[in-house]
Structure 1
Amino acid sequence: MRFLVFVLGIIYPCTDLVYAQIGIGTSNPQGALHVDGAKDNSTSETLSAVQISNDVVVSKTTGFIGVGVLTPLVKLDMRSQGAENSLGLNTTTMTAADAGAGAVRYDIANVPVGAKIEVSDGSVWHKAYIAPQKVVIVARKVSSQSITQNTATNISNWNVVRDMSSSFDGTSGVFTAPRNGTYTFLLTFNFNGAVINDGTRVESQFYNTTTNTVLASVYKTFGQSMTGTSDDANSTRSTQAGGSSTVTLTLTAGTKVVTRLWHNLISSGSIGLRVTTNPSDPTNPDDGFNNLTIIEH
């Protein structure tokens, strides 16, 4: 009889251990296995987000693992409220077939050479592609600027309406290509009224500020301003010169491009760009004449 009691005394504690929740660094385990990395959990049933963020939990119902998550929804769930929700991967020399479909690796050596994440489909490693945020820039001139005759002048102090890639400096007017690619620039311009000389031109330039070279230029020529007839005493009248330029450039990452204007419309001096005196009023007759759009293909 005493032997039977001794045996039962061994069996029952073992049975309790099998179904117990195990806590490491915590006396308040929330799963089948609960590791409190920072040992900062309270002894109550409720844990704060900060306390949970450094814990590892194995769900007692699903067996799923939560890193900083008490109730993991997938086999490995790292979507905690902490700031360090990243997953570290390394490379492998295993073939895609050996690794199996769904395996993921970090690779730098294989073609194409360079850092990339690859996923196995069971036979081939495929590079995981994430489309970058393409360049879409819309800017307009709402501050006055004069363009001196026979001097290529950078157009600066743009009012940036949209810049989805944060690659345009409105103050300097410099665009920096975020990656190798093809970019289309559309520039519209309009000057204040002046007496335009016959046979003159305006040149729109797209200028590399690093190499100090003109990547592309577009010309527009002008005749004499409304040459008078005998009915109006053969006088010439003030008029406005304007136009638009569209160029498509293939740029490497980091290339800096600014739009410039050059003209010889008048005999001397400078002409101001036509801008509104009230940018908040879209019905102002001087609004919307000088604009720049840049689009990445």
Structure 2
Amino acid sequence: MRKKIHKTLIVPCCFLISTLNAQVGIGTNNPQGILHVDGAKDNSASGTPTVTQVSNDVIVNKTTGFIGAGVLNPQVQLDIRSAGNENALGLGTTTMSAVTAGAGATRYDVNSVPVGAKIEVSDGAVWHKAYIAPQKAVIVVRKIASQSIPSATAITIINWNEVRDMSNSFDPSSGEFTAPRNGTYTFLLTFNFNGAVISDGSRVESQFYNPTTGTVLASVYKTFGQSMTGTADDANATRSTQAGGSSTVTLTLTAGTKVSVRLYQNLTSGSIPLRVTTDSSNPANPDDGFNNLTIIEH
């Protein structure tokens, strides 16, 4: 008589499942939601997992059904705001129409038309590119380091003291501004020299200069008459006079274009120092605030 042998198929289990209180744990026997996947299998057997341990977990909240990727208590239907540094949402492209995808659908446009790859959102009828306003350039610098401007030679104003640079596009040591993007920029320069005997018919020229191409992009002139002579009590000696002024230009620049400010003077036959404060920490100093540059992106 032949005996029948019943074979039992044993399937190895590659993950742990806990059904305690109708909760399922994969990779953990201590689930924190209705479904809890411990990707690194590093959670403790009891208690609440640490922030680091949760960062590699996926949890479905047992009350709301919200999904948390690296988040113990998701606050929205899909919450990926974990303590890790991988908090990015990967989107792909699709050929679906905005109508088919439906309002609120999001995709990544790789066609680069017309202004490069962008995130697009459907309103139910049309795909719209999501626009993120860039940080516009706002530069405010002042001159507190001494610098002399030679006669009849244009020289770049360097070693500025930076008050504000919201786009990190100005080099105070070289005095060079680099346009962060294609756009329109306004430059406002105020200048003032130490006292000197000024020649008649002389001038100061503010130049807005591209150091890369060696081109003056714009210039502003201010002319000066001869210094007045003193009274008889001064033995009719010619008085020292301070020359100063301001210049404003608006330039259309392409991204990467460099602009520096240069001054040219023929007020005298020699160099004249710019009027700068000897105490930069004291705004009440009588020599403070005479040489400044402001750059604003429109």
State the TM-score, normalized to the length of structure 1: 0.91
- 1:57-81 residue CA offsets vs partner (Å, 9 max, x unmatched): 1111111110110111111101112
Residues 194-239 of structure 1 show CA distances to partners (whole Å, capped at 9, x for unaligned) of 1111111111011112111111100001111114566744421111
Cα offsets for 1:267-296 (capped at 9, x unmatched) = 2x3111000100111111101000010111
Q: State percent identity of aligned pairs.
A: 77
Once residues 215 and 27 of structure 1 are traced to their aligned partners in structure 2, the CA distance between those partners, rounded to angstroms, is 71
Stretches of structure 2 lacking an aligned partner (at least 5 in a row)? 1-17
Alignment of 1:25-64 (within 5 A): 25-64=27-66
Partner residue, 1:142: 144
Task: Give yes or no for the alignment of 1:217 onto 2:219.
Answer: yes
What secondary structure sits across from 1:98 in the alignment? helix
Matched residues in 2 for 1:186 and 1:288: separation? Answer: 14
The AA in structure 2 aligned to 1:253 is A
Over 3 Å counting, the alpha-carbon distance change for 1:113 and 1:132 in structure 2 is closer
Distance (whole Å) between structure 2 residues aligned to residue 171 and residue 29 of structure 1: 58
* Distance verdict in 2 for CA 1:153–1:102, change over 3 Å: same
Name 1:6's counterpart in structure 2. none
Residue 63 of structure 1 aligns to a residue whose secondary structure is coil
1:185 aligns with 2:187: yes
Match of 2:203 in 1: 201
Match of 1:94 in 2: 96
Q: Which amino acid in 2 is paired with 1:255?
A: T
Distance in 2 (alpha carbons) for counterparts of 1:186 and 1:133: 20
The whole-number CA distance in structure 2 between the counterparts of 1:154 and 1:215 is 14
Aligned to 1:278: 279
**What's the offset of the Cα at 1:160?**
0.7
Mapping 1:228-267, distance limit 5 Å: 228=230, 232-267=234-269
Residue type at the aligned position of 1:271:
I
Residue 97 of structure 1 aligns with an amino acid whose one-letter code is V
| TM-aligned CA deviation for residue 41 of structure 1 | 1.1
Q: What amino acid is aligned across from residue 194 of structure 2 in structure 1?
A: N
CA shift for structure 1 position 125: 0.6
Count of matched residue pairs: 281
| Partner deviation per Cα, 1:101-154 (whole Å, 9 max, x = no partner) | 000011021632411011000000111111111111111111101111111111
Which residue identity lines up with residue 100 of structure 1 in the other structure? G
Match of 2:178 in 1: 176
Question: Matched residues in 2 for 1:113 and 1:150: separation?
Answer: 46
Inter-partner Cα distance in structure 2 for 1:110 and 1:161: 37
Q: 3-state SS of the aligned residue for 1:117?
A: strand
More helix by share: 1
Secondary structure at 1:46 match in 2: coil
Alignment match, 2:74? 72
Residue 17 of structure 1, CA deviation: 5.5
* SS in structure 1 of the partner of residue 22 of structure 2: coil
